[in-house]
Structure 1
Amino acid sequence: MSVLKIENLSASYRKNKVLYDVNFDIQPGSLTGIVGPNGSGKSTLLKVMLELHPKLTGKVKFFNSSLSKTKTRVGYVPQRGSVDWDFPTNALDVVLMGLYGKIGWFKWPARKDKERAMESLSKMGMADYADRQISQLSGGQQQRVFLARALVQDADLYLMDEPLVGVDAATEAAIMATLKELKMAGKTVMVVHHDLLTVEEYFDHVMLLNRTIIKYGKTEEVFTKENVQKAYGGVLRWMKEA
């Protein structure tokens, strides 16, 4: 069964169409990089699928059903820049927010919930910062906390919007190790990614996007000079020539 199926999806900002005729079918257990130039609709694609931005046309199916019926199976990590990091809360509370879909917004987290949240923080190397205000964390630490929040959901599908932007090398390595562990556990992960030099190392599938799908499939088949240049308008130097 498909984890995520998109048919004839289109979307716009005001009168500017940013996505059109988007079609793809994601199978379980894959780690996909969503790659394309700035303004190609990568972040918008995630937001439209998650009903955070309206679509013009098309169908979105999660596990052959609607998002409303499957939302507990879907984890989302937004761009760090879109989050209000001055909100007065600590790292542990941020991670606990990932459990509200299961424990309810108007119930106090139980001891087992806090233990699960601490386990997720520990996995991301952030247990010692559980009581730290998120505004006092570095960019890389904030991203680790946000990933811990997604992990605690124990979702089947994870959608992540540029989780590697602005983080140090150690955090990038820790995040990618976690994503590959999720894949090995049978989870499905889709990541908006900007660094073409690491696509082949990081992802087993790649989606080349420039307002529509240029090509999607296994990385070794899709991530070619011709396809990448087509996605970037033919002006990109092929990195393997360097």
Structure 2
Amino acid sequence: MQLLDGADLGYGGAPVLTGVRLHVASGERVALLGRSGSGKSTLLAALRDAALARDLRVALVPQDTALVPQLSALRNVLMGRLDDHGAWRNLRTLIRPARADRAAALADLARVGLAPEADRAVEGLSGGQKQRVAVARALHRGGDLILGDEPLSAVDPHQADALAAVIRDAFPTAILALHDVAIARAFATRVIGLRQGRFLFDLPVADLDADRIGALYAH
């Protein structure tokens, strides 16, 4: 699917990335690599808009998790499907979830190792736990595509590997901004390196070598 074709991306009229063309095939797992400020978040935001414009169902894990702190982990997960229903059904779900809805949300929390924390308010969870709740919410939503902005940055390496495997198995296509090259190698089929507002490379993960990594992160 051609998501972007010569797009200039940025904020307030100031371009961050220019002339972006990006085709993503169904089944690809794309890792975005680059230093902070290289344009990864800008690119992900544009990809979300482009995918929604094509009526794709998109699950999102934003960098700030976008959870409601006062609500429980389970109710935050349930919010992954709020736009599937009307306001009355959603209000009822958040106040007293139906048995089937609760069971489905619990199952998604179990996939990220957080079923025991289901009824705890998110504000009482650690940073890594909050990130896992955000991943569980995306799993609960499901869809054609998952977009994640550093979705594994707050968990330890073992948990990150496990979550990456869960994401890989749950979604046919994925585009994730990642901070860890080793996780990107294990997860992705394709790697895009962004540096100073441009694509430094776009290649199969098998072609990602030390020289390219060094050029990507060099000062």
Equivalent of 2:177, from 189, 192, 196?
192
Query: Are the aligned partners of 1:159 and 1:191 in contact in 2 as well (CA < 8 Å)?
Result: yes
Equivalent of 1:207, from 182, 188, 192?
192
* Residues 193-212 of structure 1: per-residue CA shift (max 9 Å, x gap): 11224432232211112323
User: How much has 1:127 moved relative to structure 2?
Assistant: 1.2
Q: Partners of 2:122 and 2:146 in 1: how far apart?
A: 22
Aligned equivalent of 2:168: 180
3-state secondary structure, aligned to 1:27 = coil
Query: Are the aligned partners of 1:205 and 1:219 in contact in 2 as well (CA < 8 Å)?
Result: yes
Aligned equivalent of 1:18: 16
Structure 1 pair 118–197 and aligned structure 2 pair: CA distance change class (3 A): closer
Aligned equivalent of 1:91: 73
User: How much has 1:88 moved relative to structure 2?
Assistant: 1.2
* Residues 168-188 of structure 1: per-residue CA shift (max 9 Å, x gap): 2342132122123235xxx11
Amino acid at match of 2:4: I
Query: Are the aligned partners of 1:24 and 1:216 in contact in 2 as well (CA < 8 Å)?
Result: no
CA RMSD of aligned residues (A): 2.2
The answer to whether the aligner puts 1:78 opposite 2:76 as a matched pair is no
Q: Report the TM-score, using the length of structure 2 for normalisation.
A: 0.86
User: How much has 1:84 moved relative to structure 2?
Assistant: 6.0
User: How much has 1:230 moved relative to structure 2?
Assistant: 4.6
Q: Report the TM-score, using the length of structure 1 for normalisation.
A: 0.79
Q: Which runs of 4+ in 1 moved over 6 A?
A: none
Q: Partners of 2:183 and 2:67 in 1: how far apart?
A: 29
User: How much has 1:117 moved relative to structure 2?
Assistant: 1.0
Structure 1 pair 124–160 and aligned structure 2 pair: CA distance change class (3 A): same
3-state secondary structure, aligned to 1:213 = strand
3-state secondary structure, aligned to 1:93 = helix
Amino acid at match of 1:128: P
Aligned equivalent of 1:122: 110
Please list every run of 5 or more consecutive structure 1 residues that lacks an aligned counterpart in the other structure: 52-59, 237-242
Query: Are the aligned partners of 2:34 and 2:40 in contact in 1 as well (CA < 8 Å)?
Result: yes
- Which moved further from structure 2: 165-174 or 120-129? 165-174
User: How much has 1:69 moved relative to structure 2?
Assistant: 5.8
Aligned equivalent of 1:56: none
Q: Partners of 1:212 and 1:136 in 2: how far apart?
A: 39
How many positions carry a matched residue from both structures? 212
If each structure's helix is expressed as a fraction of its own residues, which one has the higher value?
2
Please list every run of 5 or more consecutive structure 2 residues that lacks an aligned counterpart in the other structure: none
Aligned equivalent of 1:8: 6
Amino acid at match of 1:83: A
Counterparts of 1:1-242 in structure 2 under 5 Å? 2=1, 5-14=3-12, 16-51=14-49, 60=50, 62=51, 67-68=52-53, 70=55, 73-80=57-64, 83=66, 87-107=69-89, 108-109=92-93, 110-182=98-170, 187-210=172-195, 211-221=197-207, 223-232=208-217, 235=218
3-state secondary structure, aligned to 1:37 = coil
* Residues 94-144 of structure 1: per-residue CA shift (max 9 Å, x gap): 000001121234312333222211111111111111110001111111111
Overall identity of the aligned pairs, in % = 31
